[in-house]
């Protein structure tokens, strides 16, 4: 790796699986770290999590490797894979040897399991006091209950809020939202520990739970309950304290679009674009507070007016007027736009393109333009596409 990459000097051991921990591993790989993914003989379970489309494609291409699913590829670019059986003394000895020279360890064991495998912070840091150990759990280090994203979305209030309206069925988000939120919390904790190590020379144990990460992300919805005692209710894609914001409208030619009008000035510009300037002086709509009180009446007017307009032309006019608005796009449409190019990783090793986890840039450092390794086969080192899994070091 280039020395100008921020983490070119770091060695990361990834003992985590599924999504949250591996997302953090790829984050460090994209910024130059050497990341070794330690897998059990069975491999990361997400290697087998395939959509019906993937299964059909694999049947049409028998030679394609079956161990790299799209789900696995979402979080495992730029890594080397090694198989260790940590239930054996030999596997544990190999892990301890690797940890002795590592900077970071990423783990996602249930409380108590790491100790059984000799993979806990106390064991690994005994011979490497500079080691920083990031431990993800579902509900904290004192609760042995396993954490699963869908369950945490339900228990932390997200599914309740993510419904079309009061009395409508709750729904989970279409991505593992809590896992991703926990990954960000772990990154922040590890970066803090790295900063502290520069001052003290000592490593640290960083503990992150999915539950805490979810609760911390309730933001204004949690504040509403804590400040007012009112339990927020589902509103579909609408916003509880801003109108119009988030509602989906459909224009004349079928284009779905959303508005995110956060100020009275923006609302006046919206009314001008809709050729309805009188709405901006209507006492029901002059201020955001008034628009929130008269939400239903305004939404009906907007729905009827936008339904008679060309959506693309309206969006272009709103952009000129600096009114926040956008088209509702599919995932494929979003990734195909020129603005998404910088977030895509090029195809490597015949295993398709990928998506970056690092979304920030700085002129003071570079990012890996092309990661040296695509998502690895189980037990494979970089650029090895046909290596059989190893059972030891």
Residue numbers annotated as active site:
179
pLDDT beyond 80 at 58 = no
pLDDT beyond 80 at 63 = no
Rounded to the nearest angstrom, the gap between the alpha carbon of residue 61 and the centroid of all alpha carbons in its chain is: 30
**Hunting for tokens 């959509």 — which residue is that?**
51
Tell me what pLDDT residue 378 has. Answer: 80
Tell me what pLDDT residue 117 has. Answer: 97
* In contact, 365 and 353? CB cutoff 8 Å: no
* In contact, 379 and 82? CB cutoff 8 Å: yes
Sheet containing strand 245-250, strands side by side: 245-250, 256-260, 325-327
pLDDT beyond 70 at 337 = yes
pLDDT beyond 80 at 230 = yes
Cα 178 from Cα 148, distance rounded (Å): 9
pLDDT beyond 90 at 263 = yes
Tell me what pLDDT residue 392 has. Answer: 37
**Hunting for tokens 């009275």 — which residue is that?**
264
SS3 label, residue 86: coil
pLDDT beyond 80 at 57 = no
pLDDT beyond 90 at 195 = yes
pLDDT beyond 90 at 238 = yes
pLDDT beyond 80 at 67 = no
Rounded to the nearest angstrom, the gap between the alpha carbon of residue 372 and the centroid of all alpha carbons in its chain is: 22
Please give the structure tokens belonging to residue 296. 């239903």
Tell me what pLDDT residue 391 has. Answer: 34
Tell me what pLDDT residue 169 has. Answer: 95
Spell out a b/e string for 26-64, using b for 16 or more CB atoms within 10 Å of the CB, else e. Answer: bbbbbbbbbbbbbbbbebbebbeebeeebeeeeeeeeee
Average pLDDT over residues 50-56: 84
Rounded to the nearest angstrom, the gap between the alpha carbon of residue 171 and the centroid of all alpha carbons in its chain is: 18
Which ranges constitute the DSSP H helices of the chain? 20-30, 52-60, 70-73, 89-99, 113-116, 121-125, 149-155, 158-161, 177-200, 210-216, 219-228, 264-273, 288-293, 295-307, 311-320, 331-336
Look at 9-13, 65-69, 232-236, 346-350 and tell me which has the smallest mean pLDDT.
346-350
pLDDT beyond 60 at 351 = no
Average pLDDT over residues 220-238: 94
Average pLDDT over residues 66-76: 86
Indicate the burial class of 258 (C-beta count within 10 angstroms; 0-12, 13-18, 19 or more).
middle
Q: How confident is the model at residue 354 (pLDDT cuts 50, 70, 90)?
A: confident
Please give the structure tokens belonging to residue 332. 């494929």
Axis crossing angle, helix 311-320 with helix 264-273, rounded to the nearest 10: 140
Rg of the chain over all Cα atoms, to the nearest angstrom: 25
Cα 127 from Cα 203, distance rounded (Å): 12
Please give the mean pLDDT across all residues of the chain: 90
Tell me what pLDDT residue 39 has. Answer: 95
* CA neighbor of 388 nearest in space, from 78, 90, 41, 95: 41
Average pLDDT over residues 232-261: 94
Q: The whole model's pTM is what?
A: 0.88
Q: How confident is the model at residue 383 (pLDDT cuts 50, 70, 90)?
A: very low
* In contact, 309 and 252? CB cutoff 8 Å: yes
pLDDT beyond 50 at 387 = no
Backbone angles phi, psi at 374, to 5 degrees: -75, 180
Average pLDDT over residues 210-220: 97
Cα 137 from Cα 147, distance rounded (Å): 7
């Amino acid at each position: 790796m280039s020395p100008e990459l921020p983490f070119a000097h770091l060695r990361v051991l990834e003992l985590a699986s599924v999504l949250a921990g591996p997302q953090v591993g790829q984050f460090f790989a994209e910024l130059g770290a050497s990341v070794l993914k330690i897998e059990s003989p069975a491999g990361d379970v997400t290697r087998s999590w395939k959509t019906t489309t993937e299964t059909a494609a694999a049947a049409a291409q028998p030679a394609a490797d079956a161990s790299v699913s799209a789900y696995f590829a979402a979080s495992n670019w730029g890594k080397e894979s090694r198989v260790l059986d940590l239930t054996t003394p030999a596997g544990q000895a190999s892990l301890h040897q690797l940890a002795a020279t590592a900077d970071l360890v990423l783990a996602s064991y249930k409380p108590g399991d790491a100790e059984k495998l000799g993979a806990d912070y106390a064991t690994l840091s005994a011979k490497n006091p500079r080691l920083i150990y990031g431990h993800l759990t579902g509900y904290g280090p004192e609760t042995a209950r396993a954490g699963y994203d869908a369950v945490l979305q339900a228990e932390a209030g997200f599914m309740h809020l993510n419904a079309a309206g009061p009395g409508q069925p709750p729904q989970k988000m279409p991505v593992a939202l809590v896992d991703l939120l926990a990954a960000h919390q772990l990154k922040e904790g590890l970066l803090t520990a790295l900063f502290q190590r520069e001052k003290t020379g000592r490593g640290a144990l960083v503990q992150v739970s999915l539950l805490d990460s979810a609760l911390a992300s309730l933001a204004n919805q949690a504040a509403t309950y804590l400040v007012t005692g009112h339990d927020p209710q589902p509103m579909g894609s609408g916003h509880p304290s801003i109108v119009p914001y988030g509602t989906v409208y459909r224009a004349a030619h079928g284009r779905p679009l959303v508005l995110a009008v956060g100020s009275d000035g923006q609302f006046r510009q919206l009314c001008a674009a809709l050729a309805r300037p009188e709405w901006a002086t209507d006492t029901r709509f002059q201020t955001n507070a008034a628009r929130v009180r008269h939400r239903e009446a305004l939404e009906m007017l907007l729905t009827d007016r936008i339904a008679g307009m060309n959506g693309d032309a309206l969006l272009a006019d709103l952009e000129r007027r600096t009114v926040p608005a956008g088209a509702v796009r599919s995932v494929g449409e979003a990734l195909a736009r020129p603005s998404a190019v910088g977030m895509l990783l090029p195809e490597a090793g015949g295993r398709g393109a990928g998506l970056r986890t690092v979304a920030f840039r700085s002129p003071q450092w570079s990012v890996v333009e092309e990661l040296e390794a695509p998502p690895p086969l189980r037990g494979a080192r970089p650029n090895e596409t046909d290596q059989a899994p190893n059972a030891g070091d």
